[in-house]
């Protein structure tokens, strides 16, 4: 089987993405639309002290969209070197660049790139990725603990299994799911 065949087989039609943990060379890049960004800002109460974390941020254009609509801080984590470099280049021309940071890393290391003082209740995770590998991974546990501690999480185009104990808002038209712990 050649590389192209491997890549074609791994591609998830439903979400138009590749699984977490695939090699950088095989990663795909499909952007969330600006309409999705506007809808998320309408659905969530963004505070200035919040950190919006895009796990798998690509060229960071989605972060730029949300940054234009809100005044919080942003972290994008992307393991593809070329996409990461493009996100830096785009950000250097952004009016919101001071509030936006990009890290070249695997998403499972995202906590290493947030300032130490950031509390879970200020974290908003955004995930537009295939989830079936997430189900078994350390990252899922990390995200579950964060939501327990007060973080909010948004998934786009898929609903995460096993998060039923939390409240969620769902926008059917856009395929947006928002999870949070009501106790906080």
Ligand X SMILES: C[S@@+](CC[C@H](N)C(=O)[O-])C[C@H]1O[C@@H](n2cnc3c(N)ncnc32)[C@H](O)[C@@H]1O
- Contacts (CB under 6 A) with ligand X, residues 115-144: 128-129
Choose between 91 and 181: whose C-beta lies nearer to ligand X. 91
Dihedral (CA of 97, 101, 104, 108) sign:
negative
Instruction: Please choose, out of 6-14, 49-57, 67-75, 176-184, the segment that lies near ligand X by the rule CB under 6 A.
Output: 49-57
CB nearer ligand X, residue 62 or residue 179 = 62
With residue 82 as reference, give the H or E element that holds it. Answer: helix 81-92
CA distance linking residue 22 with residue 164, whole number of Å? 28
Nearest Cα to Cα of residue 126 among 64, 72, 76: 76
In the bound state, the residue with its beta carbon closest to ligand X is: 56
Q: Kindly state whether residue 32 participates in binding ligand X, applying the rule CB under 6 A.
A: yes
For ligand X, the closer CB: 74 or 166:
74
Residue 107 makes contact with ligand X by CB under 6 A: yes
Nearer to ligand X, 127 or 181 (CB): 127
29 near ligand X, judged by CB under 6 A: yes
Is there a contact between 114 and 123 (Cβ–Cβ < 8 Å)?
yes
* Token pair recorded at residue 111: 């906590």
User: Alpha carbon of 90 to those of 64, 66, 96, 120, 175: distances in Å?
Assistant: 9, 14, 11, 28, 27
Instruction: Enumerate binding residues for ligand X (CB under 6 A).
Output: 17, 20-21, 27, 29-32, 54, 56-58, 62, 77-80, 83, 106-107, 128-129
């Amino acid at each position: 089987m050649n590389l192209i065949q491997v890549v074609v087989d791994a591609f998830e039609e439903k979400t138009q993405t590749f699984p977490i943990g695939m090699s950088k060379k095989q990663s795909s890049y499909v952007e969330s639309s600006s309409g999705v960004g506007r809808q998320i800002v309408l659905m969530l109460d963004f505070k200035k002290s919040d950190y919006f974390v895009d796990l798998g941020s690509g060229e960071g254009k989605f972060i730029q969209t949300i940054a234009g609509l809100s005044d919080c801080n942003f972290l994008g984590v992307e393991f593809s070197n070329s996409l990461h470099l493009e996100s830096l280049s785009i950000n250097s021309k952004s009016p919101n660049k001071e509030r936006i940071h990009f890290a070249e890393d695997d998403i499972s290391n995202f906590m290493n790139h947030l300032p130490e003082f950031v509390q879970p209740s200020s974290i908003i995770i955004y995930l537009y990725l295939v989830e079936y590998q997430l189900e078994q991974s350390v990252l899922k546990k990390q995200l579950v603990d964060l939501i327990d501690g007060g973080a909010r999480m948004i998934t786009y185009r898929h609903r995460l299994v096993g998060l039923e104990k939390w409240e969620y808002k769902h926008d059917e038209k856009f395929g947006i799911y928002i999870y949070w712990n009501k106790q906080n």
